[in-house]
Chains A and B, each alone.
Chain A
Amino acid sequence: MSQLIKLDIPSPYKDRLAVALTRINQNEKYLHLIKDPYYLSEALIHLGKIDDAKRIIELKRKIPKHAYLSSLIFYIMMNQSSKLLQLMRIIKKHQGTETLIEYLKQTTVYTGSSTALRILYDQAKHIELDIKSIPKSHLKEIKEGYLANILNTVHLLRLESPIKGILDIINQTLNEEISPPFRMVCLSMLTSYYSRWDPIKMNQPYNELIEMLQGKPRLAEAPFIHIIFANLMASGKNDEAGNVLRRLVNILTQGIKKRIDKFVKMTNILSSSKKQKAVDENLISSIANEYAYLMAVKQRIMSIFILLLGTLQNLVRVEIPINLERIEELAAAGIILTSDIEFVEPLFQTWIKQGYHDLAEEEIKETIRRLKDEDTLEAFFHSLGKIYANKQAGRIRNTIEKILIKRKRKETLIKAFIDALYTETLYIYKITTS
Chain B
Amino acid sequence: MWSDKELRTILRKVEKWYDEFTESEFFKDLSDQQKEYSADIIMSVTEYMYNYYLADPSKWRRSDLEDCLLNILPAKFTAEITFFEAIVPVLIAFIKFLSKKGRIRGAQTLITTIKRIRREIIKNAKNPFKWGIAKSLVMVGIAFGMNILDKKEVQKIQTLYNILNMKFLP
Residues of A within 8 A of B (CB): 242-246, 248-250, 252-253, 256-257, 260, 263-264, 267-268, 271, 294, 297-298, 301-302, 305, 325-326, 328-330, 332-333, 335-339, 347, 351, 356, 358-359, 362-363, 366
Contact = CB atoms under 8 A, between A and B. Distances in A.
Given A253-B156, A260-B159, A298-B166, A337 B140 contact: yes
A368 to B, nearest CB: 13
Given A260-B159, A267-B170, A338 B164 contact: yes
Nearest to B166: A298
Interface string B49-75: 000000000000000000000000000
Contacts of A335: 128-129
Task: Please report whether the interface of chain B is mostly helix, strand, loop or mixed according to DSSP.
Answer: helix
Given A336-B136, A359-B123, A366 B146 contact: no
Name the residue among A243, A298, A302, A329 with the largest chain B CB count within 10 angstroms. Answer: A329
A137 to B, nearest CB: 25
Given A263-B168, A302-B164, A246 B146 contact: yes
Interface in B123-148: 123, 126-129, 131, 136-137, 139-140, 142-146
A362 B130 CA distance: 13
Nearest to A370: B129
Given A249-B156, A359-B127, A264 B168 contact: yes
Given A248-B144, A333-B140, A347 B128 contact: yes
Contacts of A325: 81
Nearest to A263: B168
B24 interface: no
Interface residues of B, number: 31
A301 B126 contact: no
Task: Please report whether the interface of chain A is mostly helix, strand, loop or mixed according to DSSP.
Answer: helix
A65 B155 CA distance: 51
Interface in B145-170: 145-146, 155-157, 159-166, 168-170
B163 A260 contact: yes
B166 A257 contact: no
A306 to B, nearest CB: 12
Contact of B145 (A243, A256, A301, A305): A243
A246 B129 CA distance: 24
A252 B166 contact: no
A243 B146 CA distance: 8
Given A249-B157, A257-B155, A333-B140, 6 more contacts: A244-B145, A298-B166, A326-B143, A330-B144, A336-B128, A337-B160
B27 to A, nearest CB: 27
A257 B144 contact: no
B139 A268 contact: no
Nearest to A247: B145
B164 A245 contact: no
A271 B127 CA distance: 40
Interface string B100-136: 0000000000000000000100010011110100001
Nearest to A258: B159
Given A249-B157, A358-B123, A298 B163 contact: yes
Contacts of B146: 246, 249
21 contacts: A242-B144, A242-B145, A243-B145, A245-B145, A249-B160, A253-B160, A268-B170, A271-B170, A294-B163, A326-B143, A329-B143, A330-B143, A332-B139, A336-B131, A336-B136, A336-B161, A351-B126, A356-B123, A356-B126, A359-B127, A363-B127
Name the residue among B136, B143, B166, B168 with the largest chain A CB count within 10 angstroms. Answer: B143
Given A256-B159, A263-B168, A333-B139, A245 B144 contact: yes
Contacts of A347: 128
Contacts of B157: 249
Contact of A366 (B129, B136, B160, B165): B129
Contact of B144 (A333, A358, A363): A333
B164 A298 contact: yes
Contacts of B123: 356, 358-359, 362
A69 B140 CA distance: 39
